Amino acid sequence: MLLDRLKAVGVATSLAFTLAAAPGFAAAGTNLVANGGFETGDFSGWTTNAVSYPQNIVSNPVRDGLFAAQIEGYAHGPNTLSQLVSTTSGQSYSLSFWYLQSAYVPNGLSVSWNGSNIFSSTNELLGAYQQFSATVLGSGSDALVFTAYNDSSFTFLDAVSVFGAVSAVPEPATWAMMIVGFGAAGSMARRSRRNRMSLAV
């Protein structure tokens, strides 16, 4: 009897893992931004455009890991740092990054996704890393561009990530799989109960 119950629990657990892997329950998965934390110690995966001031990889200040990127230029010629991110067209994604504007003005940072501005900051005086996150829509190949300046000091960037957004509502196909799965689990439980009753007789 105990063995039958354990088998039923095992089947239900197996079904749960199968459903969790179904398309309607897409997990966040791997960071789609190459070298998002700059942990290679260089700008691998990125396109640099040092318009008016050199861009560097630094070991301090850092938000995560060992390195961060120093990306600012001057207001008259802001620097840009960009990357093409491979996505699935029509899929929602979670974009996140940490930035630091040293507490001097003028400074500014803007971020665009496929040419649409998703973040803008001017003359921040916080002097510490801040996080920004947003939901963006994939088009297949998406341009992520950081544009920065800090005339008196420095702008830093770290822990840039793009993850697939977790689907909150199962798709119709997933619902069908769930119904079939739970039906199978229920059928096994009933069969087990009938077997136990026949043995008792």
- SS3 (DSSP) at 118: strand
> What is the per-residue pLDDT across 34-56, written as a single tens digit (0 to 9) for each?
999 999 999 999 999 999 999 99
Cα–Cα distances in Å, from 190 out to 5, 193, 200?
11, 5, 15
Q: Among 117, 195, 200, 101, which residue's Cα sits nearest to residue 153?
A: 101
Residues 95-134 have pLDDT tens digits of 999 999 998 999 999 999 999 999 999 999 888 999 999 9
Distance from the Cα of residue 77 to its chain's centroid: 30
Per-residue tokens: 76 = 């008259």
Say how many C-beta atoms besides its own lie within 10 A of residue 85's C-beta.
24
Determine which of 137-146, 149-158, 159-168 has the lowest per-residue pLDDT on average.
159-168
**Percent of the chain with pLDDT strictly greater than 90:** 65
- Over the stretch 69-85, which tens digit does the pLDDT of each residue have? 999 999 999 999 999 99
Single pTM value for the model = 0.71
Closest CA to 108 of 72, 144, 55, 80: 72
Please tell me the predicted confidence (pLDDT) of residue 114. Answer: 97
Q: What is the CATH number of domain 28-164?
A: 2.60.120.260
